[in-house]
Structure 1
């Protein structure tokens, strides 16, 4: 049954409202996460069951472990935002990389069907604003795909993505140019879901639809790094990683 013009407008309006609500929810979650982020917060001592994790003061004055795995007292990178160079934390760098990759994948899928479509631009004055801008672009692209009655892009399995698809390395480490690394994230992020990471992992894990799990973390030497946590491809064993040159 075809819908009348007014019903189609109402449906599109409802989809846009839902997309806006999703963006606001993500903004609130990000604000909460950043509020909890404290680079000077102490960590549990090495050798303890929770060694390396951040700790906070409990009501009884004893240290308690927080559910945060981002590294304390470590430097991140730097980004130019609104004409200013801003320092970034490891947490922010990983979010910037993954949200940008997800938005890129969605925009490309829209433009395969509607080459003239462009997301509405936004002006950011902070690193958090850049992350939210990436999420807003992803929501706009998702809404446009719904209007086009098209499916969202499907991620490529870890073992089928360059450079991992070239075969196993004896040391399990690949080093690629930043442009190739970005394309790797674009390939593996669509449809991947955030899952809890292990206590010692200084980053975030993502599970692909086939059950494979990869992690994205910050390396002081190499920047944002991808780790193969669980692979369903025998040619790409668990523990392999991809750095940037």
Structure 2
């Protein structure tokens, strides 16, 4: 974007890069059979190290200062709703509809619940997993673009520890780590709960260290509750 003064080219380049990463992760997991947690953690460290090497651990400023890019963080629809929130709401609505009303959404639930049963039902399990990795990576890219617009630069430390907040938010929203259970609306509610909690802790003047401690405790408690609920369901 800095080189071309084009938001379209900058965003397109970022999305293309995100698509490639998602495709690599999806292939290694779905077709090569490598554990998804290992693949995604390994890719995260590779990408993070690559960013450190490329940037020299310095922020890349927004030299283009495009109004359209700044609007992603500061602009508001009807001077009320931030454009970043509009993007999030639209994406949430689209994917919530897909998960509930489209065949591919039902395939995702089936594969997440029991891949072997899904395979016997005629679903292409590897294809479903592969596509999900691409979608996840593209959505993470969109979030990164909005974050870069908000801070006004590309920060090499951006996104640190976000993965733990994601786990906490999704489990709080009723999504099972075992797969096959949960909804995007519940996940969105979990995000709001975690954000309200974070804002409340900051409002109380608690230092960052204690915020991390409390967030970690919430993650453990949420996962323990999810596991207990899953075992109870299996017992029933």
Task: Using structure 2 for the length normalisation, give the TM-score.
Answer: 0.32
Q: Whose helix fraction is larger, Structure 1's or Structure 2's?
A: 2
Q: Higher strand share goes to which structure?
A: 1
Instruction: Kindly indicate whether structure 1 or structure 2 has the higher relative contact order, using CA contacts under 8 Å at least 6 residues apart.
Output: 2
